Amino acid sequence: MHNYLKLTVCFLTLFCVIACKTKQEEPNSKTVLNKEADKPKIVNIINFIRDIEPRDEAITKEVLFETTKSQVEIMREYDLGGTFLLQYDALMDERYQELLKGLPVDSFEIGAWWEIPQPLVEKAGLEWRGRFPWDWHPDVGFSTGYTPKEREQLVDVYMEDFKKIFGYYPKSVASWFIDAHTLNYMYEKYDIIASANCKDQYGTDGYTLWGGYWNQAYYPSKLNSYMPAQNAENQIPVPVFRMLGSDPIYQYDTGLEHDRQGVISMEPVYPRSGGSEQWVDWYMKNFVEGEPMQYAYVQVGQENSFIWKDVKQGFEYQMPLFAKLRDQGKIKVETLAETGAWFKENFKVTPATSVTVNTDYENGNKKTVWFNSKNYRVNLLWEDNTLRFRDIHLFDESIQSSYLEDKLESNQALFFTQPFVDGYLWSTAQKLAGLRFKQEKNSKIISLKGEDPIITNPKEGRLEIVWPLQDDNGTIKMEIDEDKTQITHEGGKSLDWFLELTVAKTDDLPFQSIEDHKIESLYQGKTYTVSALKGKFSKPVADEVFRIYPEDNVIKLNFKQ
């Protein structure tokens, strides 16, 4: 009996230890799961609607309407909600009113597409200057082509007619670009909660957006809608989401040495990207699996100017794929307003985010990371086992857009930030600009070579990249924070390593002075500084623009202005 009691006590003790241990371990496993759950992968299906298409007489009003109607049918077939944005001429078309009023309000959103057609201008009492009833030139078809007072008149007319039709003001207003005065007016008077603008592009369709917050969303400066604000008091509290699902590897370099870029995006109309099953699968695999830091985001869908026969194949492949990923719990499909409300609830200023692509669609060995914060953006590109900074641009909320107070007088709209590395504008097809990882070995300058990078988000606001080097040379560790980037060589052999900026085009470089611990630059009349908190800049010796040498195997750069 005594032995039985001893065994019972031992058993109970062991049970308690196991139970307690399990109970103690549970929160840790949940913490890991919750950490990933706190990084939503958000898909906005946004289709925007025009009533006319003057560029092709075969694209009639009926053809445009059938495109939108087909989009609605496919989305409803797969129980996918989304956002439809109406240009004013489509807003006033009763067919679109009837179609969109029939959508379930709990999963669909109706908002505004902010291009400016003739009926809106004339109802606001202004003179129409366009070539057609809808003119895509930015001095006519966008808010930039009007004075601040005229912009307010256009907004008031649209909003009142929208409310008469739908019974409320729209919560989302998007366009390829909207000036800061208009965006702030819409927020202050009509309480919009979300906006969106075009992905980065150079010269396409007569407007350039270059150097901005590359993906996800940002709070714009009150002085400049393309420029992220650094402080809450100077921002328009409306998140601006970047549209179209730009190819993170190949979009950037397309169109080198041409006046404009082509498009490689999630838009279903493009047969080599959004219309390709293989490309879409590749994009969504990296979207789901890549490190986004706070959240991942992509806008999908299509404007109805690209008609159904051209959009159908890509659209009909993408929609069931999104439904499948949603049902698997891998993505969230939301309206633009829902995502905007979530963003505002979670972020008081623009957060640091990333886009991480670990595989190459083109059967090559390229990989890339885009890091964005309220202070700067960075793009890293791995190719043939080498690494370079392809892009670094800085942000400054005090830079006033030339369109804030004055209307645009030409058919080219330009939006830039402050370049420190520009792998597109400073390149030719034969020589690609970049800040490269180099070493001096046996009196020769050669590229550092390594294996696949390991990319993590060890704490809020920090992206950490560990790049194992070849030949027992240790690792390069990068800690990219919202205002600074630190690069450290760890382990392995002793290396004489450094960063080297080389370019193909020198005419428009912004660098004014290169000193040991800072580089002063000037771009579009505004000065800015990048300082070396650890490490040292060196002036050109041969073809390079500058080098950055480590101090105690560390380079630490400050990008905050």
Residue-wise pLDDT for 166-205, tens only, equals: 999 999 999 999 999 999 999 999 999 999 999 999 999 9
Dihedral pair phi/psi, residue 16, rounded to 5°: -65, -40
Q: List Cα–Cα distances, 161 to 10, 88, 90, 93, 211, in angstroms.
A: 78, 9, 12, 12, 36
Tell me: the pLDDT tens digits for 246-297? 999 999 999 998 888 999 999 999 999 999 999 999 999 999 999 999 999 9
**Residue 363 DSSP label:** S
Residue 466 burial class via C-beta count within 10 angstroms: exposed 0-12, middle 13-18, buried 19 and up:
middle
- Range name among 54-63, 71-80, 427-436, 534-543 with the lowest pLDDT average: 534-543
pLDDT at 364: 86
**Distant-in-sequence, close-in-space partners of 556: CB < 8 Å, separation ≥ 6:** 484, 485, 486, 487, 532, 533, 534, 535
Q: What is the mean pLDDT of residues 40-61?
A: 97
- pLDDT(52) > 60: yes
Tell me: the pLDDT tens digits for 320-335? 999 999 999 999 999 9
pLDDT at 9: 40
Instruction: Give first-to-last CA distance, the chain, whole Å.
Output: 79
Q: What is the mean pLDDT of residues 422-448?
A: 96
This prediction has a pTM of 0.93
**Distant-in-sequence, close-in-space partners of 514: CB < 8 Å, separation ≥ 6:** 537, 538, 539, 540, 546
In angstroms, rounded to a whole number, what is the distance separating the alpha carbons of residues 392 and 543?
A: 20
Measured from the Cβ of residue 176, the count of other Cβ atoms closer than 10 Å reads: 24
pLDDT at 121: 99
- pLDDT(12) > 90: no
User: According to DSSP H, which parts of 38-136 are helical?
Assistant: 61-77, 88-91, 94-101, 118-123
User: What 3-state DSSP class applies to 488?
Assistant: strand
Indicate the average pLDDT of the chain. Answer: 94
Q: What is the mean pLDDT of residues 339-353?
A: 99
Model confidence at 33, in pLDDT bands (50, 70, 90)?
Answer: very low
- pLDDT(34) > 90: no
Angle at 181 between CA 220 and CA 214, to 5 degrees: 25
499: closest CA among 545, 559, 444? 545
Q: List Cα–Cα distances, 302 to 47, 50, 77, 92, 281, in angstroms.
A: 5, 11, 17, 20, 18
- pLDDT(8) > 50: no
Tell me: the pLDDT tens digits for 81-118? 999 999 999 999 999 999 999 999 999 999 999 999 99
**What tokens appear for 368 in the block?**
């890339």
pLDDT at 209: 98
CA 453 to chain centre: 22
In angstroms, rounded to a whole number, what is the distance separating the alpha carbons of residues 517 and 113?
A: 47
pLDDT at 24: 36
**What tokens appear for 46 in the block?**
């946004």
pLDDT at 20: 41
